[in-house]
Amino acid sequence: MILQAVIDIAEICVRKGVEDIVLSPGSRCAPLTLAFARHPKLRVRTVPDERSAAFIGLGIAQQTGKPVVLVCTSGTAAYNYAPAVAEAFYQNIPLLVLTADRPPEWIDQLDGQTIRQSHIYGGHVKRSFDFPVDTKHVDAQWYAARLLNEALNEAMAFPEGPVQVNIPLREPFYPEPGEEFAYSSNVKIIEELPSGFGLPAQSWETLNQELKQYKRVLVVAGQGKRDEALHQEVLRFCQANGAVFVTDTISNQQVAGETINFHDVFLGAKHLHSADALQADLLITFHKSLISKNLKLFLRKQTNLQHWHVQPAGMVADTFQSLTRIIRTTPQDFFRQVAEGEENLSHPSDFAQTWTELDQRAKAFLEGFQENSPFSEFKACHQVLRNLPAHSILHLANSMSVRYANLIGVADLEGVEVCANRGTSGIDGSTSTAVGSALSTEKLVTLLTGDMAFLYDRNALWHNYLPHNLRVVVLNNHGGGIFRMIEGPRSQPELRPFFETEQRLTAQKTAEDMGFQYLQASDAASLAALLPSFFNPSAGPQLLEIETSSPENFAIFEAYRKQVASKLNI
């Protein structure tokens, strides 16, 4: 068959461990669609909106840890993948992006659905490949198979990420009646073994000797998946060195009594940023981004701070403007090696004791404030998060949802995994990513989102795969309430029409159209009454809308911030 090399793309993907395909309908991509849809070993889903499709694929890959293939037709369809591709790039999530294209001679010739697709994602993919236009010659067939192997190997090589293969296709796209459609049995497979990322003995000796110079060590975990073995190694290191382990909610390392979980609360008291008792002389970081702006500002103000970042390979950011050393090994190996031979401290250091006591006071303050404050979206988030089922998954939309969650935390809950699109921190694919996650697990998946993020991504639900285990909580303050929280826009007369962008919609019609059971709450009592049935695992997909007032939310949150500043001190 003329398009045999294209058909064999599906077989190569299967042989290299791919299980999930998310495609969007189109004519130019028909050979790819047929190749994947007819393969018996693939889960193939079709999502009409390419932007949503790509984020759903991202959510699947985020949950499974395996590469997901995206397939779209030519033209602007490929551009609609761009937000999710960028997010995958910064979150290190493996995607194989297959963009069907016109043959090169028709580019810029005013033909339909034709744009410049080669390398369309620029620097937001690990690599871009151009599939051969004609594959009749045996060398072209070898090249096509080799290229697909390279693309998948690159997507899975540390740090993982998205890779594009642009595939120009000429008609005919469909097999003739009676024409054989079969996958080659001898497709070329190139395996790549992962690196161990080890350091030489001399480097470990240097690190251990230097560590003895530091009396105040702060360990900060960025966004990552829960890893119990890593967690135990970090705790062992901290106990041996009197170090402090600070964990954002999205780090998935939060454990009550073991880590500092309420730093975003007490560092909201800006006078503590210069408190000598909190100052570290060595900062050790691993994994990706942080939510807490308070923590970032605190660390950026530190003087004479040494900063070691532990990461096996890839780009390293100097987030706190203090980076002094990049250590190319895995975090687990690092903390195991540098803790060896050390005797555990019988009592925590004064430095660790100060952080721990302040963390405990911050937690008590937060719980007391929530108990005594009027109803607001902040209090609603507290109620929802404190009632999450054990061993479930929480997805956080950007803007205020993720910020509230980082203040409130999930450290007291057993086995709750927290996910958020903090690579680019956009609102555009939060719902779609949660849908993808729910399609890949039997665990309950809860999305906490605002009205703007939810309405922006309604096409996340426009398909035939609504997961039974999906729960969506929509905080509806009828606008972009985050802009009222920020000093700059809230003091401008244009706040209401141009920043908050007032909207009058609710989520009820969308919920009903898409097959959700719709629930609504507007006070603490009604919310408390609904949460048990909302989290009932056998209840099917549900959407809970919580309506609040943006000015009231601001007033209550501002009262919280003022109390933090006045009541939390060393």
Of 168, 187, 214, which one is at a domain's C-terminal end?
168
Q: What is the pLDDT of residue 198?
A: 86
Q: Which long-range contacts (CB under 8 A, 24 or more apart) does 195-202 make?
A: 195/158, 195/312, 195/313, 197/158, 197/312, 197/313, 197/328, 197/329, 197/330, 197/333, 198/329, 198/333, 199/327, 199/328, 199/329, 199/333, 199/337
What's the number of domains the chain is made of?
3
Note the pTM of the prediction, 2 decimals: 0.94
Tens digit of pLDDT for each residue in 312-367?
Answer: 999 999 999 999 999 999 999 999 999 764 554 555 689 999 999 999 999 999 99
- For the domain that residue 388 is a member of, what is the CATH number? 3.40.50.970
Question: Span 485-508, mean pLDDT?
Answer: 74
User: Is the pLDDT score of 112 beyond 90?
Assistant: no
d(CA 488, CA 430): 26
* Cis, peptide link before residue 312, omega less than 30° from 0: no
Q: What is the pLDDT of residue 49?
A: 97
User: Is the pLDDT score of 130 beyond 60?
Assistant: yes
Distance from CA of residue 190 to its chain's centroid? Answer: 30
- In the chain, the amino acid numbered 475 is L
The answer on 349 and 384 residing in a single domain is no
Question: Span 492-521, mean pLDDT?
Answer: 85
The answer on 311 and 229 residing in a single domain is yes
The answer on 20 and 95 residing in a single domain is yes
Q: What is the pLDDT of residue 432?
A: 98
User: Is the pLDDT score of 287 beyond 70?
Assistant: yes
d(CA 416, CA 393): 6
The answer on 470 and 534 residing in a single domain is yes
d(CA 524, CA 518): 18
The answer on 424 and 390 residing in a single domain is yes
Identify whether 543 is part of a domain: yes
Q: Which of 476, 450, 363, 368 is nearest to 410 (CA)?
A: 363
Identify whether 297 is part of a domain: yes
Q: What is the pLDDT of residue 480?
A: 65
The answer on 123 and 25 residing in a single domain is yes
Q: What is the pLDDT of residue 42?
A: 98
Identify whether 383 is part of a domain: yes
Angle at 23 between CA 19 and CA 26, to 5 degrees: 150
Order across the sheet with 306-310: list the strands: 244-247, 217-221, 282-286, 306-310, 323-327
Q: How many CB atoms lie within 10 A of CB 301?
A: 14
User: Is the pLDDT score of 260 beyond 90?
Assistant: yes
Tens digit of pLDDT for each residue in 72-104?
Answer: 999 999 999 999 999 999 999 999 999 999 999
Identify whether 367 is part of a domain: no
- For the domain that residue 315 is a member of, what is the CATH number? 3.40.50.1220
Question: Which has more pLDDT, 144 or 344?
Answer: 144
Residue span of the structural domain in which 431 resides: 373-567
Identify whether 176 is part of a domain: no
The answer on 381 and 350 residing in a single domain is no
The answer on 474 and 381 residing in a single domain is yes
The answer on 8 and 145 residing in a single domain is yes
Tens digit of pLDDT for each residue in 509-542?
Answer: 999 999 999 999 999 999 999 999 999 999 999 9
Q: What share of the chain in percent tops pLDDT 70?
A: 95
- In the chain, the amino acid numbered 44 is V
Of 321, 356, 391, which one is at a domain's C-terminal end?
356
Identify whether 473 is part of a domain: yes
Tens digit of pLDDT for each residue in 385-407?
Answer: 999 999 999 999 998 999 999 99
For the chain, give the mean pLDDT. 93
User: Is the pLDDT score of 267 beyond 80?
Assistant: yes
Identify whether 156 is part of a domain: yes
d(CA 305, CA 13): 47
The answer on 391 and 344 residing in a single domain is no
User: Is the pLDDT score of 149 beyond 90?
Assistant: yes
Q: Which of 344-348, 444-448, 455-459, 486-490 has the lowest mean pLDDT?
A: 344-348
| Residue 543 confidence class, pLDDT cut points 50, 70, 90 | very high
User: Is the pLDDT score of 174 beyond 90?
Assistant: no
Tens digit of pLDDT for each residue in 420-433?
Answer: 999 999 999 999 99
Of 356, 390, 407, which one is at a domain's C-terminal end?
356
The answer on 378 and 352 residing in a single domain is no
Identify whether 471 is part of a domain: yes
The answer on 153 and 60 residing in a single domain is yes
Largest distance between two CA atoms of the chain: 80
Tens digit of pLDDT for each residue in 229-246?
Answer: 999 999 999 999 999 999
